[in-house]
Structure 1
């Protein structure tokens, strides 16, 4: 584990609701039309039509695939919806928790990741339609928690209580404990299965567009 994943600890998570799917391009188009908000940085408008800047080519915007946005854009969309971006702890609970209170190693159970569980491991370069991997659903029926894009949380990236930097690379995490970077959880199409674990934390700057950065809403 990296230093920012430690030490092991418990978090009390009050009751909350979370969307079963990541927010899609189609939902974000509706939001843009309703509010005049800026589009995703990975879209391009040509002759009145939206196109997707894929890894290798420009294609018609896939309306049922997850939208890639900044954390600021995700927060604004959620606010418009009357919702919010989930905290890191809420996302963890939705992914690995169960009604019995036990935790799973993965959303679907304790079996290791394989191609039936999600869009990761370079099976695809780009996202696929939301909900394409029902065998990867969590105990609560939440889709795509592992794969198809990292997911923004509202939690600023910082060390847990008792954080100890790695002796071999002390600035690996600590340089980004600046209040400007936010935790992302899950996995992207380009995430190796070896990196998929409950404790893994990614982080991006909140106002910068990163490929593979998706989100869902909570309340």
Structure 2
């Protein structure tokens, strides 16, 4: 091994360990602020008890890294079934014999100690799971994703606030237009060059997208209030048949956590009541609500191919890892990492602007797209069928871009999130698009 190769290996291992440590820091912070009773409670049937997430991230790390890479024996036989997300739906998890909070913390600490030893001794070969320490990064991203899930549980939780909920300072949108133009033509979607990219982001492949217009910023709370005031929730013609059926069954009348008090819309945010800020991107809307709004506005949701092209492709035909380039996210470019617990005003972060002129395509709110979650041509499951492939069933829609709750290590222009079109507890908003004619 040359010195240069050795340096790259050391850098890859250091970066993987840093990401693992950052994920663990957030996991512990989101659970240390609550007592055992609240960690063991199920705050919504949509979510696991927080103590389940706490042990689950350690169990997955043990399976993928301690056993899968390190070849070690199971540390606590019998845990795999308890913390298998497919074996036990969330509504059933409070009845399982879960580890108590103190036991869960001891377990994940013991797993991490073995992971550090495995990382120190493993040879990072060109095998797909080891190249660039991929499987270690994937494990960190998995825990980061549960950090966002746990934050959503905090938002659903009743009771006094336990998290600081200050928001970012407004950034003047200036003369930002309402929409921006994206030229038509082929581009390369997905990636083969990012060692951290998950299986559903691969492989890179050509896609031809006709020219289109896309909102320069996400749809705001004020925009969405116009939809409500115009009777958007009561007019079937704006809703797909499935969407209208769900709207009626669920009794949807406004985004989740919104309440109308007199002439004022209020929202609950991490245990605090506050007026809905009109200039922020709307959040906690399901796909059906986003689709209905787009129809009402005479527009549509962008496909995920359109979203990715708008977010990352420059005039020279080169894909950027992020809208602004390949440099890692920082606070001047995107609202990420739970530094603030709400979106920034629409039009913020000019330093993070995409080549087409759109802003906030990374961070602030996940953005629903029109596309179903499906494999790319030539898809290969990594590390197994359980991560992405199990969800290629036509039931989920693709979300793009991350939110204020997403860690920077767990998002990029090619990253694909997915969820059922009825989900509203996630930190999701949207922007709209239209054909260029």
**Structure-1-length-normalised TM-score:** 0.94
Question: How does 1:44-55 map onto structure 2 within 5 Å?
Answer: 44-55=259-270
Which residue among 122, 140, 145 is the counterpart of 2:356? Answer: 140
Give CA deviations for 1:169-203 in whole Å, capped at 9, x if unaligned. Answer: 31211222222211111011111111222321111
Q: Structure 1: where are the runs of 5+ without partners?
A: none
Find the aligned partners of 1:57 and 1:16 in 2 and give their Cα distance.
40
Corresponding residue number in structure 2 for 1:62 = 277
Find the aligned partners of 1:104 and 1:7 in 2 and give their Cα distance.
16
Find the aligned partners of 1:180 and 1:106 in 2 and give their Cα distance.
28
Find the aligned partners of 1:174 and 1:53 in 2 and give their Cα distance.
36
1:56 Cα deviation from its structure 2 partner = 3.2
Conserved in 1, the CA contact under 8 Å of 2:232 and 2:293?
Answer: no
Corresponding residue number in structure 1 for 2:191 = none
54-63 or 87-96: which moved more?
54-63
Find the aligned partners of 1:210 and 1:2 in 2 and give their Cα distance.
24
Find the aligned partners of 2:216 and 2:413 in 1 and give their Cα distance.
19
Q: Structure 2: where are the runs of 5+ without partners?
A: 1-196, 234-252
Q: Report the count of equivalent residues.
A: 218
Find the aligned partners of 1:136 and 1:36 in 2 and give their Cα distance.
33
Find the aligned partners of 2:330 and 2:201 in 1 and give their Cα distance.
23
Which residue among 307, 330, 338 is the counterpart of 1:114? Answer: 330
1:160 is aligned to 2:376: yes
Which residue among 127, 130, 141 is the counterpart of 2:343? Answer: 127
Find the aligned partners of 1:165 and 1:176 in 2 and give their Cα distance.
12
1:36 Cα deviation from its structure 2 partner = 4.2
Match of 1:169, SS?
coil
Conserved in 1, the CA contact under 8 Å of 2:335 and 2:343?
Answer: yes
RMSD: 1.3
1:74 Cα deviation from its structure 2 partner = 0.6
Corresponding residue number in structure 2 for 1:199 = 414
Corresponding residue number in structure 2 for 1:33 = 229
1:5 is aligned to 2:201: yes
Conserved in 2, the CA contact under 8 Å of 1:204 and 1:210?
Answer: no
Q: CA, structure 1 residues 36+77, in 2 after alignment: closer, same or farther (shift >3 Å)? A: closer
Give CA deviations for 1:69-120 in whole Å, capped at 9, x if unaligned. Answer: 1111111100111100000010001100112222222111222110100111
Find the aligned partners of 2:313 and 2:389 in 1 and give their Cα distance.
28
Corresponding residue number in structure 2 for 1:88 = 304
Find the aligned partners of 1:55 and 1:177 in 2 and give their Cα distance.
33
**Structure-2-length-normalised TM-score:** 0.48
Match of 2:415, SS?
coil
Find the aligned partners of 1:92 and 1:175 in 2 and give their Cα distance.
23
| Structure with larger Rg | 2
Find the aligned partners of 1:214 and 1:122 in 2 and give their Cα distance.
17
> Which of the two has greater helix per residue?
2
Find the aligned partners of 2:202 and 2:349 in 1 and give their Cα distance.
30
43-52 or 152-161: which moved more?
43-52
